[in-house]
Copies of this chain bind each other. A is one copy, B any other.
Amino acid sequence: MSYFRTDIRAMAGYAPGQQPGGGIFIKLNTNENPYPCSAKVLTAIGRAAAAGLQRYPDPSASAFRALASVLHKETVAGIGPEWILCGNGSDDLLTIITRALVGTGETLRHTNPSYILYDTLAQIQEAVCQVVDYRKDWSLDQQFTAPDDRLRLAILANPNSPSGTQIEPEQVLKIANALPCPLLVDEAYADFANSDCLSLVAENEKILVTRTLSKSYALAGLRFGYLVAQPQMIEQFSKVKDSYNCDALAIAGATAAIGDQAWLVKTRTAILATRERLTGALAQLGFQCTPSQANFVWCQHPVKPAEALYQRLKADGVLVRYLHYPRWEPGLRISVGTDEQIDALLTLLKRYGLG
């Protein structure tokens, strides 16, 4: 296969969490929202489909950007549609940002344990990945802002996965100010957290914040995310995106989704209540749980190995995510499902003799 670039041939490729084809599974492995999306989303999709799909979609997703800038008006000083770039999921935006900033042989810095896609994106660019380990308490030391001539992009998932922990905005601003390059704050889970970094975008053009509708808006199947950054940054990133990266149904559905904030508040409240209950119950079963600001809980058991638990749960029809990062004890990342799903999980764990 000598046609392919050396780094592509050497790559394993990013393996997404398992999506079981058949069988009845309780799926707590990819941090999906267990609730169906707002009914207004389905109405908007139906209307867009009925209007016809033969025309190209709006390449700049103007309707979404207009509404999103209103939604974030109180938070981001001076925001308008030109502060927003839409993507086919926030993965699309991570790709766009990496391609625009990081060339062959240049450096992308991110944390460990975190979202392993960042490594894949660097590899595709033939870039060098600089991985900064979290401290054991999931705080970040100064290595993350260490000077480096080749550094072009730093990425911080916040809240982080798999830990669900948050670096507070004051510290993120300090990090951005200390870095020589843009800082991408991947806020896929921010709607489940107590704070976020959106307001910082107005303070420093180096701060780029991405959001996804996959998790909090229950739209993983629709593929829609957006980047908030200062207009002069958005203008450059726009050059790298596919002209029609978001389809007409996704634009319509996503716009309706952010227009229904009452649905978001209600769903968030339910998920946070279940998260608290799950965390408490896991602790009672002897797990060490990291307090989470996301829609999942990272836990390890001092006696039962994580991989064996994962396998046994899978055999019993419950999928959780088993994750083993370099220089880190393996653990389970359990998505916050419905109360019924979490009850089923806990019942199984008790049956395995835990607690």
List the B side residues contacting A239 at CB < 8 Å. 8, 11-14, 120, 124
Whole-angstrom distance between the Cβ of A279 and the nearest chain B Cβ: 22
Alpha-carbon distance A13/B222, docked complex (angstroms): 26
A55 touches B222 (CB 8 A): no
Alpha-carbon distance A5/B218, docked complex (angstroms): 35
Asked if A321 is at the interface of the complex by the 8 Å CB criterion, the answer is: no
Interface residues of A in 200-227 (CB under 8 A from B): 206, 214, 218-223
A221 touches B240 (CB 8 A): no
Q: Are A53 and B220 CB-contacts (below 8 A) given A59-B19, A104-B103, A247-B250?
A: yes
Interface of A is mostly: loop
Asked if A284 is at the interface of the complex by the 8 Å CB criterion, the answer is: no
Whole-angstrom distance between the Cβ of A249 and the nearest chain B Cβ: 5
Closest to A238 in B: B13
Whole-angstrom distance between the Cβ of A212 and the nearest chain B Cβ: 11
Asked if A41 is at the interface of the complex by the 8 Å CB criterion, the answer is: yes
Stretch at the interface among A93-101, A142-150, A285-293: A93-101
Q: Are A244 and B91 CB-contacts (below 8 A) given A222-B249, A236-B9, A239-B8?
A: yes
Alpha-carbon distance A161/B48, docked complex (angstroms): 29
List the B side residues contacting A1 at CB < 8 Å. 232-233, 236
Alpha-carbon distance A5/B32, docked complex (angstroms): 35
List the B side residues contacting A130 at CB < 8 Å. none
Whole-angstrom distance between the Cβ of A347 and the nearest chain B Cβ: 23
List the B side residues contacting A27 at CB < 8 Å. 55
Interface residues of A in 67-121 (CB under 8 A from B): 88-89, 91-92, 95, 99-104, 117, 120
- 9 smallest beta-carbon distances between A and B, as pairs: A221-B248, A13-B239, A53-B221, A54-B218, A223-B247, A16-B243, A104-B104, A56-B220, A33-B54
State which of B8, B34, B248, B253 has its C-beta within 8 Å of the C-beta of A54. B34
Asked if A242 is at the interface of the complex by the 8 Å CB criterion, the answer is: yes
Whole-angstrom distance between the Cβ of A296 and the nearest chain B Cβ: 14
Closest to A41 in B: B53
